[in-house]
Structure 1
Amino acid sequence: MSQIVPLISSGVAGPLGVQHLPRLWQKASLEAVGKLHSDYPGAGQGYDQMVLDGLGLDRTEFLDYIKASKPTYVQLEGWVLEKKGGSLDQAAVKQLNDAINGYIHDDGTRASILAAAGRPDDGSVKDAVNLNNLDDWQTFYTAELA
């Protein structure tokens, strides 16, 4: 069975404006059907949990919905809006997006990701969103093209 590396960046937001929600949907959806690459959790404790907490969503309920309904992304956003009474608190969304954009990996994680990607650790890439992108792209390359 094919194991898929998720390539939607944490920096991507859907129409609701919530960064990382499209990636969380993709990862949870792939895991629900046994197709997520083994290096990735369907819903981990980092950005995934930040999004669930930031939106006030119950982790188990979210994952159960994904598994049972296999929603499209638009259907997922509709479900989120239904859970939130029809709208999102835009200040909370901004705070969540700012937290995602502002997260910095520790020095060891940064160095490891850059080394694996073959990029010098010159201090120009520090934010977790871009480091995670590099990590995803390297994992994809190694798994599918090398």
Structure 2
Amino acid sequence: MSDTYVPLISSGVAGPLGVLHLPRMWQKVSLEATGKLASGYPGIGRGFDAMTCADLGLEEQAVKDYIKKNKPTYPQFEAWVKANAKSLTPQAIDKHNTAVRGYNHDDETRQEILGNCRMAADSSAPKDAVNLNNLDDWHEFHKAVLQ
């Protein structure tokens, strides 16, 4: 078994607050804080992680510091988000979730992920980042753990 872990919570998953990607960000930052995040994965990256922090009005470093210091469960993390987010209205959450669901990777990234997964880059293959990232995570998990 690996000492590091590929994050397998999808960006398409929301917790009780209803914020897409928040559970994945918690998992990645938690793994990073304990030195257990698989290489190639940032704790807080420039994509959905940065978008989630910006959309909710959370400071990235504050998120990292809270998780590193407290090692919260996911419900504890959501309680912290509720107390610290500057923008957690139903409208802000809906706008964020729509942006996550609607984001498509550029064609080069799509081709790379589909190629790594040995899938044809035809019209039946996903174009959205959530599903492409899922495929990428499952591929990395397979390489790291199952081969």
Please state which band the TM-score falls in when normalised by the shorter chain.
over 0.9
Q: Which residue of 2 aligns with 1:123?
A: 123
Shift in Å, 1:62: 0.9
Compute the displacement of 1:138 (Å): 0.2
Q: Which residue of 2 aligns with 1:142?
A: 143
Letter in structure 2 aligned against 1:137: W
Report the counterpart of residue 27 of structure 1 in structure 2.
Answer: 28
| 1:55, distance to aligned residue in structure 2 (A) | 0.5
Gaps of 5+ in 1: none
Normalization by structure 1: what TM-score? 0.96
Identity %: 57
Match for 1:18: what amino acid? V
Cα RMSD (Å): 1.3
Name the aligned partner's letter for residue 28 of structure 1.
V
Q: What CA distance in whole angstroms lies between the structure 2 residues aligned with 1:59 and 1:128? A: 21
Distance between the aligned counterparts of 1:84 and 1:141, measured in 2? 36
Letter in 1 for 2:10: S
Counting only pairs closer than 5 Å after superposition, residues 54-65 of structure 1 correspond to structure 2 as 54-65=55-66
Q: Aligned partners of 2:58 and 2:29: how far apart in 1?
A: 14
Question: Equivalent residue for 1:38?
Answer: 39
Distance across 1 between alignment mates of 2:15 and 2:119: 30
Number of positions where the alignment pairs a residue of Structure 1 with one of Structure 2: 145
